[in-house]
Each structure stands twice: as structure tokens, then as C-alpha cells.
């Protein structure tokens, strides 16, 4: 921009432009990119996914680093938001939630945030994802039985004004891949990567 135009707009070379009728806006700093993860970080994550109650000592031994190094790495993964928390993996059938389903939803354009908040309130909602393709939202639910699932879909979901249509996919059997690698040699397989 030539100097005359900058003077007319209230800016000088090197200054922050002033929006019409307002104070200069603070320069926005871009979000810091995530730190790259090395094979040890990835091994620590897999170990903690398989057993969130693993001790620092156990983790350190399995990935062949000192306890202080393992402790620092886990804290960095938490601080960086890579590890969001520690939870229990539940056998839903044994916990009295014998019916599971993936439900696809088509929703009103630009209503994702509103719909997401309403879906969070549903009893048994386990996972919500905004996706591309033939539908907009993928919802995983666990309910005590098919009657409760039917009520959830027909009464709760279809009463949300922003939901245009739903399709329910019953889960007949599921396999937790985090459990699949557990066995006598699983720790060895993790630490050798």
C-alpha cells in the first residue's frame, strides 16, 4: 500500500492497521504445531491405551528408558493434549447395556454445534463424529435393550428439529482392538518398535 493510502487509512508503515471505527486488533499468534512423536512416545501411548493404570516404572521398563524420562514424556504428552485422559474400557453387555448401535444422522446445514450439544445429553451416547459422505453425523450408543434403543431413536433423536433423518445399524458383535494384542508377548511386541 503506498504511503499516501496508509496515511489516509490511519496506518503508518510497520503499524497494525486500524479497522474502521475501532482500535487496532492484536496480532493473532498461530496455534503451536504439535511436537512430533518418536517411537518411544508412540510405545508409551500404546501401553497406556492397553493399561491406563500401568505404573511409571512398568512403562519405563517396557520402553527401555529411565523412570524420570518416562515420567517427563507422559507429562509432555498430557500437556500437549496428545493424551486427553485415562478411562476404563467397559464391557457394555456385562455392564447391563446389551444393545449397541451406530446411528447415522442427516442434519440441517450449519447446525453441527447445536446438534452435538443435544447428542451429548443422550443417555448411552458413547461417541459422536461429524463426517463426510452420505450422512453428516455418526453416533455410537449403548442401551440396556432394543426397546430402550428404539425409544432413543424414535423419541429423543427424531424430536431434535435439526435432525432430518436417521438410520440405525445394530451392532451384533464388536472387538476392542486394544484388547486384541494383549497376551504374554504383547509387551515385547510394543517395546521392540
When pLDDT is cut at 50, 70 and 90, the band that residue 86 belongs to is confident
- Cell numbers standing for residue 47: 501401553
Cell of 115: 446438534
Q: Do the beta carbons of residue 43 and residue 53 sit within 8 Å?
A: no
Which of helix, strand or coil describes residue 124?
coil
What is the pLDDT, as a whole number, of residue 25?
54
Instruction: Using pLDDT thresholds of 50, 70 and 90, give the confidence band for residue 111.
Output: very high
Quote the pTM value: 0.66
pLDDT tens readout for residues 130-185: 999 999 999 999 999 999 999 999 999 999 999 999 999 999 988 877 764 454 44
C-alpha cell at 3: 504511503
Would you say 103 and 166 are in contact if contact means Cβ atoms under 8 Å apart?
A: yes
pLDDT tens per residue across span 7-48: 444 444 444 444 444 555 556 667 777 789 999 999 999 999
Q: How many CB atoms lie within 10 A of CB 156?
A: 17
Separation of alpha carbons 187 and 177, rounded Å: 15
DSSP state of 157: G
- Which residues are within 8 A (CB) of 165 and not within 5 positions of it... i.e. 6 or more apart? 105, 106
Amino acid at each position: 500500500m503506498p504511503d499516501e493510502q496508509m496515511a489516509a487509512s490511519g496506518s503508518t508503515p510497520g503499524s497494525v492497521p486500524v479497522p474502521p471505527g475501532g482500535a487496532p486488533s492484536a496480532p493473532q499468534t498461530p496455534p503451536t504445531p504439535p511436537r512430533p512423536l518418536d517411537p518411544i512416545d508412540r510405545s508409551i501411548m500404546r501401553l497406556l491405551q492397553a493399561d491406563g493404570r500401568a505404573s511409571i516404572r512398568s512403562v519405563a521398563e517396557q520402553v527401555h528408558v529411565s523412570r524420570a524420562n518416562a515420567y517427563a514424556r507422559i507429562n509432555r504428552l498430557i500437556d500437549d493434549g496428545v493424551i486427553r485422559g485415562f478411562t476404563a474400557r467397559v464391557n457394555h453387555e456385562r455392564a447391563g447395556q446389551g444393545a449397541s448401535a451406530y446411528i447415522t444422522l442427516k442434519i440441517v446445514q450449519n447446525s453441527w454445534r447445536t446438534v452435538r450439544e443435544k447428542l451429548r445429553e443422550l443417555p448411552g451416547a458413547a461417541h459422536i463424529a461429524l463426517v463426510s459422505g452420505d450422512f453428516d453425523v455418526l453416533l455410537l450408543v449403548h442401551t440396556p435393550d432394543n426397546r430402550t434403543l428404539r425409544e432413543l431413536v424414535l423419541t429423543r433423536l427424531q424430536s431434535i428439529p435439526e435432525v432430518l433423518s436417521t438410520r440405525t445399524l445394530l451392532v451384533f458383535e464388536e472387538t476392542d482392538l486394544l484388547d486384541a494384542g494383549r497376551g504374554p508377548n504383547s509387551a515385547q511386541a510394543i517395546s521392540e518398535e
